[in-house]
Amino acid sequence: MCVDCGCSIRGIEEHTGEHSHDGGKTFHSHEHQKAHEHLHHNPQLNDAKTVSVIQKILDKNDHEADHNREHLQEKGVLGINLMSSPGAGKTTLLEHLGDVANFKFGVIEGDLETERDADRLRAKGIHAQQIQTGTACHLDAFMVHKGLHHMPLDDIDVCFVENVGNLVCPASYDVGTHLNIVLVSVPEGEDKIAKYPVMFRQADLILITKTDLLPYFQYDIEAEKAEARKIKPNVDILEVNVNDVQSVKAVAQWIEFKLKMRA
């Protein structure tokens, strides 16, 4: 795929063209990279050895994330980052989406170093690409870029990224998808949303999963939704129980709607 863009994984300054920088709010060309330095990189006159920089620490990652979005955009593919604690139900949801979705999707699987989750998806006929994360506690845009190389972008409408199971670290990294879905399961208990606000702030859609288990847990689901909306007032929230096909269909419909809105 990078034959045409010429990026060959080594970096971000190699290709030209418009792309969005902060999640689609602004557009600029790669001249931006230089402008960046000119703007903020002004040695002060009184002390030549002190420089004001004002650069995002993850600027390189953010540029690579923009770059990944360009690839997806070019092929009309919607990228969705799935994040949650381990075991909240990311892989299970993807398996069930395979049965009901009327869009085609692939999965970049970053959750485990083993092929276990990827194999589960392949068994369902879903194209899954395992990426090597070593001991990383999150995916970054460079890892996802490598995964994109092996995605049949011409044949899919949606590319999911199953992030490492962790409610902390993945929240700081833009991996270059368009939307974030954050899952939180009933058995994890009531305080998760309030305890991990940075993660839930990133969510475009929050899925409260395993709602079939509500009778067995002390879990005030309406209070959890209210908590989420203190952190992100306009966030969408759906309840999911994979044994209830309608609830899985609702997730598919949310994604279909988002696909339509990106014509």
Residues in contact with ligand GDP by the rule CB under 6 A: 84, 86-92, 111, 165, 209-210, 212-213, 240-242
Distance CA 2, CA 68 (A): 11
Question: Quick one: which of 58, 100, 169, 235 contacts Zn ion (CB under 5 A)?
Answer: 169
Helices in 88-128 by DSSP H: which ranges?
90-100, 116-122
Question: Quick one: which of 137, 213, 226, 245 contacts Zn ion (CB under 5 A)?
Answer: 137
Cβ atoms of 108 and 129 closer than 8 Å: yes
At CA 71, angle to CA 156 and CA 257, rounded to 5?
50
Say whether 205 sits in a helix, a strand or coil.
strand
5 binds, among ligand GDP, Zn ion, Mg ion, none (CB under 5 to 8 A by kind): Zn ion
Cβ proximity to ligand GDP, 231 vs 248, nearer residue: 248
Please state the closest distance from residue 203 (CB atom) to other proteins, in A. 13
Residue 117 identity: D
Question: Quick one: which of 65, 67, 83, 177 contacts Zn ion (CB under 5 A)?
Answer: 67
Cβ proximity to ligand GDP, 78 vs 88, nearer residue: 88
Find the helix packing angle between 141-149 and 59-74, rounded to 10°: 30
Cβ atoms of 218 and 247 closer than 8 Å: no
Eight-class DSSP state of 42: E
Please state the closest distance from residue 72 (CB atom) to Zn ion, in A. 11
Please state the closest distance from residue 244 (CB atom) to Zn ion, in A. 34
Q: Which listed range, 10-18, 68-76, 93-101, 131-139, lies at the site for other proteins (CB under 8 A)?
A: 131-139
Please state the closest distance from residue 209 (CB atom) to ligand GDP, in A. 5
67 binds, among ligand GDP, Zn ion, Mg ion, none (CB under 5 to 8 A by kind): Zn ion
Please state the closest distance from residue 49 (CB atom) to other proteins, in A. 5
Residues in contact with Mg ion by the rule CB under 5 A: 90-91, 111, 117
Cβ proximity to other proteins, 178 vs 232, nearer residue: 232
Distance CA 19, CA 27 (A): 5
List the beta bridge partners of residue 150: none
List the beta bridge partners of residue 203: none
Distance CA 259, CA 255 (A): 6
Q: Among 193, 146, 145, 144, which residue's Cα sits nearest to residue 164?
A: 144
117 binds, among Mg ion, other proteins, Zn ion, none (CB under 5 to 8 A by kind): Mg ion
Please state the closest distance from residue 131 (CB atom) to other proteins, in A. 16
